[in-house]
């Protein structure tokens, strides 16, 4: 029998496996879970949540919130403006846009996740891209350190998933590292559930099938860990939940009906659940503010609320005015997609379907109430925190 290594800390991330979703699947890891908690998420998308989980910082502290922000002078891919000559039939093809995304990523030397989604080619040069570096490696954040910076500084061997491969390969590679006792720590993200719920909503029977598959594979992974390590601490968690989309709304048409000039009076970025505005002159501020103040499909967020949520930027990098849709209402068309989905996240963190979740074979301290607090658990597992689990 091979000698066991002393300790392994596993952090397994299931994208969109929020608190409400988890409650509908009580048999997931049944018999293995000692404690579970509901966690407050961060306003925004994975581009905001993931950096916060691995750093313990809010977006206003680490600098990453939404993917795109207004910066025509600093945009590194201004040449894409020439692609606007492509006919609309080509422009709307997902495969074409995916290949162009890969081309831009390579040309600009981006190592982080990059996708142009449905941003019009004529408008893309107006926006810079925030996550230009791979956040899962040292020095991945604009500001602050991640757990990967901290482990690298201390020479702690760890595993982190490769975003370019699927869930099964990620788990196979992690299992190999565990069986060969190459690591002391692992962070592995699984993305199929998020993709599935975007397509079918949060209650479809297909979700149960996938959760059973996850259950079997994670149990096997944990068994391999216990065979090769004397002590195994594990945490299964997520960054946000998933809402069923109940209706779609053309917010772009509402703004265009005001008769203002795009890129002369204002510029906006239309995410799936929020719109972010920059005012290029004062002629645009009053009418846009007014129409959004009385809008039935959402509300504008005050500067005070944005700061409280950890997404208040003093320089208005991500927008001077932030308009958030009501839960379940998707902006269609948006710069992220031209068709409505069955499931969406990115609504207000206080909505029940927004809450994230965590479960573990350890007691989860009372201090752990938000997704960015997961970083404290990581530090604690590595002996780098002041309180003990």
* Beta strand spans in 212-283 (E): 229-237, 243-244, 247-249, 266-270, 274-279
Give the model's pLDDT for residue 84: 72
Q: Cα angle vertex 319, ends 325, 340, to 5°?
A: 35
Give the model's pLDDT for residue 381: 96
Give the model's pLDDT for residue 90: 67
Q: Where are the domains of the chain?
A: 5-60+138-243+349-381, 68-129, 248-340
Give the model's pLDDT for residue 386: 58
Top CATH class of 5-60+138-243+349-381 equals alpha beta
Give the model's pLDDT for residue 14: 98
Give the model's pLDDT for residue 193: 98
Give the model's pLDDT for residue 385: 73
Give the model's pLDDT for residue 179: 98
Give the model's pLDDT for residue 210: 98
Lookup result for tokens 């991945």: 140
Q: Are strands 68-70 and 127-129 parallel, antiparallel or unpaired?
A: antiparallel
* Residue 38 and residue 366 in contact, taking contact as beta carbons nearer than 8 Å: no
* DSSP SS3 for 199: helix
When the candidates are 3.30.1360.180, 2.60.120.40, 2.60.40.420, 3.10.28.10, the CATH number that belongs to 248-340 is 3.30.1360.180
Joined together, the tokens standing for residue 74 give: 């600093």
* DSSP SS3 for 335: coil
Mean pLDDT over each residue of the chain, to the nearest integer = 95
Residues of the chain under the 50 pLDDT cut: 388-389
pTM for the model: 0.95
Give the model's pLDDT for residue 6: 96
- Return the closest-CA partner of residue 353 out of 1, 13, 24, 8: 24
């Amino acid at each position: 029998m091979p000698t066991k290594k002393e300790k392994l800390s596993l952090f397994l991330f299931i994208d969109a496996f929020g608190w409400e979703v988890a409650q509908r699947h009580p048999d997931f890891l049944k018999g293995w879970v000692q404690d579970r908690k509901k966690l407050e998420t961060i306003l925004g998308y994975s581009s905001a949540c993931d950096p916060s989980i691995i750093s313990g910082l809010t977006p206003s502290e680490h600098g990453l919130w939404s993917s795109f922000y207004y910066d025509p002078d600093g945009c590194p891919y201004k040449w894409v403006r020439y692609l606007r000559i492509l006919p609309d039939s080509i422009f709307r093809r997902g495969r074409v846009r995916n290949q162009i995304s890969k081309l831009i990523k390579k040309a600009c030397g981006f190592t982080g996740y990059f996708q142009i989604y449905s941003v019009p080619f004529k408008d893309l040069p107006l926006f810079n891209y925030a996550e230009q570096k791979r956040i899962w490696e040292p020095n991945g954040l604009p500001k602050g350190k991640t757990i990967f910076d901290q482990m690298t500084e201390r020479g702690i061997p760890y595993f982190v998933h490769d975003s370019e491969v699927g869930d099964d390969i990620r788990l196979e590679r992690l299992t190999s590292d565990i069986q060969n006792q190459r690591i002391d720590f692992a962070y592995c993200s699984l993305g199929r559930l998020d993709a599935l719920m975007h397509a079918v909503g949060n209650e479809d029977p297909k979700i149960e099938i996938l959760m059973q598959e996850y259950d079997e594979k994670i149990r096997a992974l944990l068994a391999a860990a216990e065979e090769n390590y004397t002590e195994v601490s594990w945490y299964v968690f997520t960054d946000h939940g998933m809402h069923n989309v109940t209706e779609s709304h053309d917010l772009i048409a509402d703004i265009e009906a005001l008769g203002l000039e795009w890129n002369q009076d204002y510029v906006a970025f239309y995410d799936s659940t929020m719109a972010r505005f920059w005012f290029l002159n004062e002629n645009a501020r009053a009418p846009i503010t007014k129409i959004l103040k009385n809008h039935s499909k959402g509300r504008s967020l005050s500067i005070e609320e944005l700061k409280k949520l950890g997404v208040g930027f003093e320089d208005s990098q991500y927008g001077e005015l932030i308009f958030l849709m009501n839960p379940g209402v998707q902006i269609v068309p948006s710069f992220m997609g031209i068709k409505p989905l069955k499931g969406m996240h990115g609504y207000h963190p206080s909505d029940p379907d927004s809450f994230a979740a965590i479960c573990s074979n350890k007691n989860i301290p009372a201090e752990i109430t938000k997704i960015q607090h997961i970083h404290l658990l990581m530090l604690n597992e590595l002996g780098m925190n002041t309180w003990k689990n």
